[in-house]
Structure formats: structure tokens, C-alpha cells
Amino acid sequence: MANVVVVGSQWGDEGKGKIVDWLSERADVVVRFQGGHNAGHTLVIDGNVYKLSLLPSGVVRPGKLAVIGNGVVIDPWALAEEIETLASQGVTISRENFRIAENATLILPLHRELDALREAAAGAGKIGTTRRGIGPAYEDKVGRRAIRVMDLQNPSTLKPKIERILTHHNALRRGLGEPEVGADELCAQLGEIAPKLLPLVDTVWELLDGQRRLGKRILFEGAQGALLDIDHGTYPYVTSSNTVAAQAATGAGIGPGALNYVLGITKAYTTRVGEGPFPTELTDEIGQTLGERGREFGTVTGRARRCGWFDACLVRQTIKVAGINGIALTKLDVLDGLKELKVCIGYRLDGEPVDHLPASQGAQARVEPIYETHEGWSESTAGARSWADLPANCIKYVRRVEELIETPVAMLSTSPERDDTILVHDPFED
């Protein structure tokens, strides 16, 4: 049976939460493999709205095992709060349906503070982070001074590790004019939160290997989109982890040969939160209309998303980099009623045509989109569940998108509701 990786093919906010939830009905295990609580997934199930940041989307389904892999950075206080919120909505989280990788890195209060301090000090040069400590936590992981989940199991060895990380952070804090953090204070904070995490800790690589050998279907859930990848995104306006499909293997502790199909979640237009280049951005009435119809506000931050036309050139590029086999086209209904639609098919850079977004920050800011125009449709696609429900011009638009991105549409999403989905190809059947 196939194991499926779900990643975003744009700058995130493509609707991964709903698609992962929909696919999780066919899966046995759902795994988060990168990012932290800077991700935001909104699920609408039978009229109930669930907002997740750290927990895998499959956790709301009975009988599924949700897993946070080693590639995720975990804010234990945020995780505990999220679990409590779901409990108030009738979703029970326990070892029966949820596990945390013992070797995942923790986000500490000092990471959140440093993130905010840096952004505030950067002024016009800010990156646009969520100020949740994601970047500083990954820095400590790579710097080999991080506190990991397993460290909470042994208080006697925790304090020396905290003293080591504070040697680094207190030097930074002094330079920023901030008070130092005491080792005893941080030890006490971690000691207080530890009992909420430790019952859920597991050796995740071994757990997933066992599930795979039993023939269980595993769904790997990415957080941010491919254009926010630390290597392949619009650097430096990116997140601090790899968001492409290959990270699913590294961030979960499973071999790449176990990843059978990559589904790229792709919005029928384009959005971006925060700073950075956006070639097809619309600052006019149409952009405002897309934002209002699509309810384009960040699940985590509440920030309004920038909106623009579909960028086929950019999606084609991320499909190649991320190894995407098919896409799930989402929010098609937001385009209903627009008289004409534009699709970016390439760029001009300093007057010369280019077929991809350059890696250079300066060049990314200078590219100009080349558009082709398509006739829109007046009929509603909201809630459509078959091709027969779609207007002819809508089908033409979808088929042209497939041609331009050189990848088939495997699924279409026509509303936030779980069942308003048209399945063209089941990824689990590969």
C-alpha cells in the first residue's frame, strides 16, 4: 500500500489541513515532519471548526495514530494548550492516538523572545516571522546545543544542558540589552510542563518502521509551502526548515523508498503572508475580492494574506523541486463570478524572458509576470463533488493549469467542508 506525502506547492495556506484530513480517512498513521506551531490548519467538519498548529490534522479522526516527527520543533506550552482546546471540543488526545518523537527539539521561552527581539530590531529589513521562536530553535538544533524532548526524562542531566544553551543565549541577550535567563528558572519551567509531554513520547522511527511492516498506510503532513523552504524558497523570506517532500523521510526517520506518492496542495490563485517577493500580487479591487471571498487571514497570526493571480511558472518550478506527482487544486470556488482570469506563464527579467523564478533576492524583486487571459464563469462551483457540477469554463481553466504546470490534478476542493471534494486520482492507490 502506498504512503503519501502532502506538501504545499506555493507559499503555504493552500488548504493542506482539509486535504490531509480528507486523506486521513484512508490512512492509518498521520505524521508531521517539519516546522512548528507557526503552521496553521483549519478543519471544518460537520460545521465544527478545528484550528491546529502542531497536532497533525488526522488527530481529529477516531482510530488514527497521529505522530510528531523529529523534524518538528515543539513548543511544549503551545502543544499543551492545543491539546486542551481540542479536549474542550470533544477530541481526546492520549498515547492511544498521539505520539511525539523523543529526539524532537523543544522551543523554549527564550527562543520566542529572541525571535521577537530580532524582528523588532530589523525594522524595514524584517523577514516577517510569526515570532514564535521557530528560527532560533532550529539554530540551536544545528548548533548542537538544543534541548530535546528526551532531555525532559532525566532532570539530573537537564540542568548542565540548560547551562550550555544559556551560555549562548545570555550573550545574545546582553548584546540586545535584555536581562539574562537563569538556569534554575528555566529548569523549573520545563519541570512543570514535562509531565504533560512525557506520557506521549516514543521512538518514532521505530514506531513508523513497525507500522510500515504491518502494511499500514502512512500519510506525511507538511506544514509551510515549498516556496518557504530554507534552501529552495524565496530566501531570506522563508521558514527555517526544509518544506519539500524529501524532508518527510529525514523529519520522520523513515527511508525515502517508503515515500510512494507526493501530493502538492495548490490554491487556484496565489497568496502570501508577510514579507518577500510576489510577482503576481494584486493590490487592486480584484486582490481585495480574492482575500475577502477566500477569507485570507492567517490561522496562526490573523494577518491578512496578500493575494494574486495563479502563478503557473512558480508552481511548475516547485513541482520539480519537491518531486510532486499530482496536485490538489483548492479554493476553486473563490474564482466564481470573475469575468476574466489571468495566469502567469513566465517572467521578464530586465526585459529578457525567463521560465523560472531566479534564486537571487534582487532578481526576484525585479521579475515581471507574463500573463495569459482566460474567460471566467458566472455559475457557482461551491460544494461541487463531480466534474459534471463544474461550469465548462472552469473545467477549461483546470485543464490549462495542468498543461502549464506539467502535472495532473488529482483532487479538486470546492469549499472548506471535508466532503466537497472531487477525487480524480487516489494517491493511496499508487
**Average pLDDT score, the chain:** 93
Comparing 65 with 419, which gets the higher pLDDT? 65
Beta-carbon contacts of residue 397 (< 8 Å; ≥ 6 apart) = 268, 335, 341, 374
Q: CA 331, CA 272: separation in Å to the nearest integer?
A: 15
pLDDT > 80? residue 298: no
Tell me the C-alpha to C-alpha distance, in Å, between residue 167 and each of 171, 177, 348: 6, 16, 49
Q: So which residues are the catalytic ones?
A: 13, 41
Residue type, 223: A
Nearest CA among 60, 115, 104 for reference residue 83: 60
CB 78 within 8 A of CB 55: no
Q: CA 280, CA 234: separation in Å to the nearest integer?
A: 14
pTM beyond 0.85: yes
Composition of the chain by helix, strand, coil, percent to 5: 40, 25, 40
Name the grid cell of 313.
511558472
Q: CA 64, CA 97: separation in Å to the nearest integer?
A: 6
Residue type, 297: F
User: Over pLDDT 70: what percentage of the chain?
Assistant: 97
pLDDT given for residue 319 in this prediction: 97
pLDDT bracket for residue 186 (50, 70, 90): very high
Name the grid cell of 172.
545574545
* pLDDT, tens digit, 9 for 90 and up, residues 202-232: 999 999 999 999 999 999 999 889 999 999 9
Cis peptide bond upstream of 199, omega within 30: no
Bridging pattern class, strands 340-349 and 368-375: antiparallel
pLDDT bracket for residue 260 (50, 70, 90): very high
pLDDT bracket for residue 300 (50, 70, 90): low
* pLDDT, tens digit, 9 for 90 and up, residues 243-257: 999 999 999 999 999
Q: CA 420, CA 273: separation in Å to the nearest integer?
A: 26
CB atoms under 10 Å from CB of 257, counted, come to: 8
* pLDDT, tens digit, 9 for 90 and up, residues 36-62: 998 777 777 777 888 889 999 888 888
Name the grid cell of 118.
530580532
CB atoms under 10 Å from CB of 170, counted, come to: 18
348 by DSSP, 3-state: which?
A: strand
Classify the C-alpha dihedral 260-322-387-418 as positive or negative.
positive
Residue type, 358: P
* pLDDT, tens digit, 9 for 90 and up, residues 321-345: 999 999 999 999 999 999 999 999 9
